[in-house]
């Protein structure tokens, strides 16, 4: 019994050492310029690993986001094919910094997150996978504050 406990602790430690190893490898690659300009600042892997809407919003920093009519989500009422669901998010708020698209009932909630530089319009159009009928949420960070809007999309054949 005692040994078993020790083994599981060791395993946990090995796993965390391995994770640290992976992280430092990424650091080395980045500093060597092998992964030069594609690493994004300000977005955590935790946001993409989140398995609940609350956890994803939390990881994005947008847990307290107010509903805002300036955010417009365009998506089909009924999506016949869940593997390709077109979603457009358009937002007229000033100083938009980030637009994220989340699907409440997908196995992984956060589909994509876009950083909006000063020269970009508050607009993005993409295609996502949906496992089942769900709310699609747009989380917008503008002038340091978070706002959200959502739209229900019925999915006939899920595709995740």
Partner 1 sequence: MSSPTKMKAAIKGEYAEVKMLMQHVMENGRRKDDEGNVIPAWYITAFKVKHKDEVVFEGQFGTSVSKNPYLICRFFGAVAGEKITVSWVDNRGEQREDDAIIE
Q: Applying CB under 8 A, which of residues 95, 125, 143, 156 lies at the interface with partner 1?
A: 125
Looking from the CA of 136 toward its CB, the CA atoms found within 13 Å total 33
Binding residues for partner 1 restricted to 84-113, rule: CB under 8 A: 84-86, 88, 103, 106-108, 110-113
Q: What does the alpha-carbon distance between residue 65 and residue 78 come to, in Å, rounded to a whole number?
A: 27
- Closest approach, Cβ 7 to partner 1, in A, equals 26
x/- mask, partner 1, residues 16-55, rule CB under 8 A, reads -------------x----xx-xxxx--x----x-------
Q: Are strands 85-91 and 110-115 parallel, antiparallel or unpaired?
A: unpaired
Answer yes or no whether residue 128 interacts with partner 1 by CB under 8 A: yes
Alpha carbon of 40 to those of 43, 59, 66, 130: distances in Å?
7, 15, 26, 25
Question: Tell me, what DSSP letter sits at residue 116?
Answer: -
Residues that bind partner 1 (CB under 8 A): 29, 34-35, 37-40, 43, 48, 83-86, 88, 103, 106-108, 110-117, 119-121, 123-130, 160
């Amino acid at each position: 019994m005692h040994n078993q406990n020790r083994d599981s602790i060791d395993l946990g430690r090995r796993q965390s050492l391995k994770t640290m190893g992976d992280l430092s490898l990424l650091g080395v690659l980045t500093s060597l310029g092998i992964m030069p300009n594609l690493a994004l600042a300000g977005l955590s892997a935790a946001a993409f690993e989140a398995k609940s809407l609350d956890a994803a919003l939390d990881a994005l920093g947008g847990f307290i986001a107010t509903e805002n009519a300036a955010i417009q989500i365009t998506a089909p009422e009924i999506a016949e094919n869940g593997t390709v669901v077109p979603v457009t998010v358009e937002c007229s708020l000033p100083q938009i910094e980030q637009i994220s698209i989340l699907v409440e009932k997908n196995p992984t909630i956060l589909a994509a997150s876009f950083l909006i530089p000063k020269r970009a319009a508050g607009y993005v159009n993409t295609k996502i996978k949906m496992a089942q009928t769900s709310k699609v949420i747009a989380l917008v960070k503008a002038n340091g504050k978070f706002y959200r809007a959502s739209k229900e999309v019925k999915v006939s054949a899920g595709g995740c």
